[in-house]
């Protein structure tokens, strides 16, 4: 999975409370958001056959979970999705 093998500096910055303790809930929220978005990207690629001109950007939606609200980037496909 690309997202885990090539972390960005933002991913490496651990969310912390003011006292320096790691905010595990925010860490889990970020991880869940990245995993869900990566899975949706992979599924869209599979549906499109990986063609270069078959995607049409993303729609942003929010999803409330027990670890917080996730911002989902839902891929749009040119085939009318």
Strands of the chain (E only): list them. 55-65, 68-77
Q: Band of the pLDDT at 1, cuts 50, 70, 90? A: very low
Across 28-57, average pLDDT: 85
pLDDT of residue 32 exceeding 80:
yes
Res 20: pLDDT:
79
Spans of all domains in the chain: 21-77
Q: Which residue has the higher pLDDT, 58 or 81?
A: 58
| pLDDT above 60 for 11 | no
Q: Which residue has the higher pLDDT, 17 or 66?
A: 66
State how far the Cα of 43 lies from the Cα of 71, in Å rounded to an integer.
18
């Amino acid at each position: 999975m690309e997202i885990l093998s090539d972390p960005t500096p933002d991913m490496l910055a651990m969310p912390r409370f003011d006292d320096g303790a790691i905010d595990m809930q925010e860490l889990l929220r970020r991880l869940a958001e990245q995993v869900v978005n990566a899975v949706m990207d992979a599924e869209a690629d599979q549906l499109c056959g990986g063609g270069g001109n078959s995607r049409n950007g993303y729609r942003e939606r929010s999803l409330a979970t027990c670890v917080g609200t996730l911002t989902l980037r839902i891929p749009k496909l040119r085939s009318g999705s």
